[in-house]
Amino acid sequence: MKVALIGVGQAGGKVTERLTRFDAEMGFGAVQGALAVNSAEPDLQSLEYVDTQLIGADRVNGHGVGGDNELGTEIMQADIQQVMNALDGRVTSEAEGIFVVAGLGGGTGSGGAPVVVHHLQQIYDIPVYALGVLPGRNEGALYQANAGRSLKTIVREADATLLVDNDAWHEQGESVEGAFETINERIAKRVGLLFASGEAVEGVGESVVDSSEVINTLRAGGIAALGYATEVASEDSAENVNTAMSVSRQALLTGTSLPDATTADSALLVVAGEPDRIPRKGVERARRWLEDETGSMQVRGGDFPLESDRLGALVLLGGAERSDRIQEFMERAREAKKAQEREAEKTDPAEQFADDQLEDLF
């Protein structure tokens, strides 16, 4: 699937850069153009592989918006024409979709990404998707509240929103910075493989997955999730029937970008590996298992021929918003928002003196 990428904010820029680099290093050629947009100049300066566009210089002078996502929205609205101009030519006539990438919990990406999606929808006929990073459970209340509002808006604007929970794709005990590195690398690899599946032309057989299957799976709209797992495989496909089953199970049950998301409107199972190692019977069995597990009648499947001694499963879910994880997150975001409002009331001078938690001296 040929795509154009726009990263908004710090996380958006870093993830976009990683994805672009992975695609170039693998020689896939799925990423046709990439742009990073930010109100913080230093964040843009650290990027090497993507073009950049500074916004809001007249308001924040290259210093970013802190965690103020309303300011992020305003700045993006004011400078949207500049962003659309910078993108011109990067959305090639071959592009089949545009992905707007952002951390939903911060300021520039959280507030700006929904605005970018909205304007792209007015201009381009191809689908406009979001790739959003959700704050992990231990990130602060401001991140949770910001992400809640951003998610609500971006889901409304985008054709589908692929979510990666920051708690999902890293090891326990890593530092936050270390974890970001790991998470970004995994996003790049997994989402990069999703883009590249459908681009494979060598050894084309009927079972090779096509870009349109990715697009059709995302047509369910709402929230999408991506799962991934691999295992060493035998050279003889007949011996890999159980392996195909077990990588597919792991991809959905433990390897997903949105933990516990298993109910979906649609799904796509891409089995990656050397064509000789891919067991037809195993793939078909795994596809049927996925139908049962997701409760979806629309489970597509296909191969992605790739040189490797491993067999990999990539599971894309469309319409996964009924998952417990999303309900739990939205609850957390609502709580954080209420707490913020209570804090704001307290700083109102009149309210401050009405605070009955502080007792009068006499």
* Footprint of ligand GDP (CB under 6 A): 9-12, 14, 103, 105-110, 133, 135, 139, 143, 166, 180, 183-184
Does 138 appear as a known binding residue?
no
Contact 256, 168 (CB under 8 A): yes
Least CB distance from residue 124 to ligand GDP, whole Å?
A: 23
Least distance between ligand GDP and beta carbon 72 (Å): 6
Q: What is the DSSP letter of 51?
A: E
Complex with ligand GDP: residue 103 or 312, whichever CB lies closer? 103
Query: What six digits make up the tokens of 311?
Result: 């067999």
Q: Determine the number of helices (DSSP H) and then strands (DSSP E) in the chain.
A: 13, 10
Q: How far is the CB of 141 from ligand GDP (least distance, A)?
A: 12
Residue 281 labeled ligand binder: no
Nearer to ligand GDP, 166 or 197 (CB): 166
Beta carbons within 8 Å of 333's beta carbon, 6+ residues apart: 144, 145, 147, 148, 149, 151
Distance CA 25, CA 28 (A): 8
Nearer to ligand GDP, 30 or 145 (CB): 145
Q: Say if residue 108 carries a ligand binding annotation.
A: yes
The CA distances from residue 197 to 66, 89, 205, 273, 279, in Å, are: 37, 24, 13, 11, 18
> Was 295 annotated as part of a binding site?
no
Q: How far is the CB of 100 from ligand GDP (least distance, A)?
A: 12
Residue 184 counted as an annotated binding residue: yes
Q: Give the list of residues 6+ apart from residue 192 with CB closer than 8 angstroms, or none.
A: 19, 22, 23, 26, 28, 30, 31
Chain centre to alpha carbon of residue 68: 21
CB of 181 to ligand GDP, least distance (A): 8
Is 166 known to sit in a ligand binding site?
yes
Closest to ligand GDP by CB, 184 vs 294, is: 184
Q: How far is the CB of 209 from ligand GDP (least distance, A)?
A: 27
> Closer to ligand GDP at the Cβ: 227 or 302?
227
For the CB of residue 169, give the shortest distance to ligand GDP in the complex, in Å. Answer: 8
Helix axes 108-123, 69-78, angle to 10 degrees: 40
Radius of gyration of the chain (CA): 22
Residue 57 counted as an annotated binding residue: no
* DSSP secondary structure code for residue 277 in this structure: G
Contacts of 5 (CB under 8 A, 6+ apart): 16, 19, 20, 31, 33, 34, 35, 50, 98, 99, 101
Can you spell out the DSSP letters for 278-332? --HHHHHHHHHHHHHHHT-SEEEEEEEE---SEEEEEEEEES-TTSHHHHHHHHH
Distances (CA, A) of 39 to 16, 125, 323: 16, 28, 34
Q: Which of 64, 282 has the CB closer to ligand GDP?
A: 64
Q: Quick one: 310 or 337, whose CB is closer to ligand GDP?
A: 337
The answer to whether the annotation marks 274 as part of a ligand binding site is no
CB 233 within 8 A of CB 243: yes
Cβ proximity to ligand GDP: between 182 and 352 the closer is 182
109 belongs to an annotated ligand binding site: yes
Minimum separation from the CB atom of position 275 to ligand GDP (A): 34
| 205 assigned ligand-binding residue | no
- Residue numbering of the annotated binding site for GTP: 10-14, 107-109, 139, 166, 184
- Residue numbering of the annotated binding site: 10-14, 107-109, 139, 166, 184
